[in-house]
Amino acid sequence: MNRNLFFVVLFLIFSVFLTVSIWGQGVYIVLKKNVESYEMVKNNFIQFSFVEQISNLDTSPYYLDESANDSAVLKAIAEKNPKVIFAIGSYAAKKVRQTMPDVLIVAAMVYYPEVEKIYPDEKMVIIASLGSAKDLMEKIKAFRKVKKVGILHSSQISESANLYISELKSTGMEVIDYSFSNKDEIQAIFQEVKGNIQALLVLPDTTTLNSDVIRYIATECLSSGILPLALNDKMVSSGFFFASYFSAESIGKAGAQNVKEVTATGKAQSKEIRFPKDSETSLNRGMLNAFKLKIPSGLKIGVIYE
């Protein structure tokens, strides 16, 4: 009987030790509910987490829905004393930070983190969710010579636009910054850009993602001989010439790699937004033909819209 009691006590001590060793080491996923792109990133993150062998990852995500219930969800996570949170979307990243000021966060699908006021943050790593402007222009140079490029964006995201302006300049381009306060100002901008630039990068927001605005910009660019470029696929499917962007797979993979690093080091070591290594491309064949261009040999294009 004493022997059995000894083993029971030994088991309880071991259980407590195991619980203490794991407590505070967990990795959790938080995202907003019913957003397809977030779901795709989450699924890819989980897939690559097995490749990266992320320790103590809870693969059952916690969902937020912008209701009063979010507080209870976040409280439940906080009570687990997590080590790292993989937050998908700006809403999740903001709410996690508000509830857990000291937790390490790896955030993805946050398009303009400076504007969202969640970056810089010494305990957060941001995964870039738009494409790389540098990668985009390197590919565009294969189609035709471009010396001067414009960047069109809402004045509300000017702070974040600086990242892409710097990227464009790093390719040796002269860059002209065009910002607007409302969609009516876009027409006036096109009177200014004609003859001044050979390509125009348009950053996505609620105005520029409007289908009518996309068609207007595409039409004006075509009539002015300006290549309309994007960092997301939707604009190309709606009429823009070319895009370089990060797929859900690339973002999920980068998320897993960075979560592994942050978990291992216990630090969010990067002061810069991190770009996924793998990018995708898309091209609109109608615009290709309208500009009388050809696909350069050796350039692989992921999606071609006919």
- The domain segmentation of the chain, as residue ranges, is 25-129+250-265, 133-245+280-305
pLDDT band (50, 70, 90) for residue 272: confident
25-129+250-265 matches 133-245+280-305 in fold: yes
pLDDT band (50, 70, 90) for residue 2: low
Tens of pLDDT, residue by residue over 158-173, are 999 999 999 999 999 9
> How far is the C-alpha of 61 from the C-alpha of 51, rounded, in Å?
18
Domain 133-245+280-305 in CATH 3.40.50.2300: yes
Tens of pLDDT, residue by residue over 6-49, are 444 444 444 434 443 344 579 999 999 999 999 999 999 999 99
**Closest C-alpha to 133, from 182, 192, 204:** 204
For residue 219, the SS3 value is helix
Length of the chain: 306
Domain boundaries 25-129+250-265, corresponding CATH code: 3.40.50.2300
Residue 121 burial (10 A CB sphere; 0-12, 13-18, 19+): middle
For residue 268, is pLDDT > 80?
A: yes
Tens of pLDDT, residue by residue over 54-72, are 999 999 999 999 999 999 9
CB-CB neighbours of 123 under 10 Å: 15
Tens of pLDDT, residue by residue over 185-244, are 999 999 888 889 999 999 999 999 999 999 999 999 999 999 999 999 999 999 999 999
Tens of pLDDT, residue by residue over 100-144, are 999 999 999 999 998 988 888 899 999 999 999 999 999 999 999
For residue 180, is pLDDT > 50?
A: yes
- For the chain, the 3-state helix, strand and coil shares in percent, each to the nearest 5, are 45, 20, 35
208 phi and psi angles, rounded to 5 deg? -75, -15
